[in-house]
Amino acid sequence: MTCKNCFPTELEYEILIEGERNQSYIPDIVQHLKRQKVLILDRKTSFFIKEAGIVELYEFFRDHLDTSLIRFRVDNGKWRPIIEVDELFQSQWIDKVIREQLVTCYYQPIVDVEGNVYGYEVLSRFFDELGNPIPPIEAFKAAKLRNRMYSLDRVCRLNAVQQSSFINQKVFINFVPTSIYSPEHCLRSTVQLAQQLGIDPSNFVFEVVETEQVEDLEHLKSILMYYQEKGFKYALDDVGQGFSSMDVLKELNPHYMKLDMKYVQGVSKDKRKQESAKNFLEAATETGAIPLAEGIEEIDDFLWLRKMGYQLFQGYLFGKPTPRIIQNSQSYHFADQYGQVGVSHGKN
């Protein structure tokens, strides 16, 4: 049986109508929906319809009913005001992105203290059927509106594994833990693909994003333990926001911890950011995680963080995300009081 979360089908809308005057219209509405073959189920004051009928129905509501007394939901989710249904319908394009996997991967280097490439973060980029780019924030916003977060996260994850199989260094892949229902079922395809491609799982680091939305710690632990049991590594992103407690960090026991760019950019001159960066480093050291600073654009910030003891670095200073890894060996050298620092892009 095909999982509708993996391969999204047309949404079904449940409409709830309240108010005596509004409800007087329900018999005629139901009959019309039947004639249009979009009615799924009638429950007197609420009914289920196919998405194909939602635009015309919403226009009827606006013309004849009190829309403040009408709500809708999809997939037994939360009830929303009917006025939000148009935004949901207009986000329908994300279904096509998911179905046709209109996703490609960009690679951004992660370097060590000597400037050598340690690995790459794989970032998903989205395009419409004409090849026009879609901002990632818009893609995930649309997926969230339509309850497609798992589907989009899955497509991105599998594409990242597939398109990074040639890399012999560490590969960092983002995933959204709140989109995963059960690690045994939802992550099985990722493990199977890695096995089919003959990939060493220890080369892959799955990076938790949206940490501020993680409320179920036990669920997150079950996901991370599943990855670890299969030989993968994992990283926590934006740790200061979502995992401020040392007890929680020790429970999760990450292999890597990433210092967010808001604490990185300008850290060489900002005392408060320096304090945050030092506290983060102490937490990583106590947890046994490798500290990684992201969003580095200025050499002074890199040098300050390196001096403090950070081990890995990422940012435009070392390379922007690109659709392919640079094949010709290149290096960029920074002279400082600690000696020459080179950033090298080796062949893969």
pLDDT in tens, the chain (348 residues): 445 555 567 789 999 999 999 999 999 999 999 999 999 999 888 999 999 899 899 999 999 999 999 999 987 888 999 999 989 988 989 999 998 889 999 999 999 999 999 999 999 999 887 888 999 999 999 998 888 888 899 899 999 999 998 898 999 999 887 777 677 666 788 888 988 998 888 999 999 875 555 567 788 888 888 888 989 999 987 655 445 567 778 888 899 999 999 999 999 999 999 999 999 999 899 999 999 999 999 999 999 999 999 999 999 999 999 998 864 444 545 544 444 555 544 443
Specify the pLDDT at position 348.
39
CB 344 within 8 A of CB 329: yes
The Cα–Cα gap between 226 and 188 comes to 10
Specify the pLDDT at position 44.
82
The Cα–Cα gap between 103 and 96 comes to 11
The Cα–Cα gap between 92 and 90 comes to 5
The Cα–Cα gap between 171 and 233 comes to 10
Q: Which candidate, 314, 307, 295, 304, places its Cα nearest to that of 270? A: 304
The Cα–Cα gap between 24 and 180 comes to 42
CB 172 within 8 A of CB 110: yes
Angle 192-4-124 from CA coordinates, rounded to 5°: 60
CB 285 within 8 A of CB 308: no
Specify the pLDDT at position 11.
86
The Cα–Cα gap between 333 and 313 comes to 15
Provide the whole-model pTM.
0.82
Give CATH superfamily name and number for 101-345: EAL domain (3.20.20.450)
pLDDT tens profile 223-238? 888 888 989 999 987 6
Strands 133-134 and 117-127: antiparallel
- What are the sequence ranges of the domains in the chain? 12-90, 101-345
- Rounded to whole angstroms, the maximal C-alpha distance in the chain is 81
- The whole-angstrom distance between residue 22's C-alpha and the CA centroid of its chain comes to 40
Q: Which candidate, 279, 169, 311, 300, places its Cα nearest to that of 233? A: 169
The Cα–Cα gap between 240 and 211 comes to 9
CB 318 within 8 A of CB 343: yes
Specify the pLDDT at position 347.
40
CB 312 within 8 A of CB 291: yes
Tokens of 87: 């935004």
Task: Please give the radius of gyration of the chain, using alpha carbons only, rounded to the nearest integer.
Answer: 24
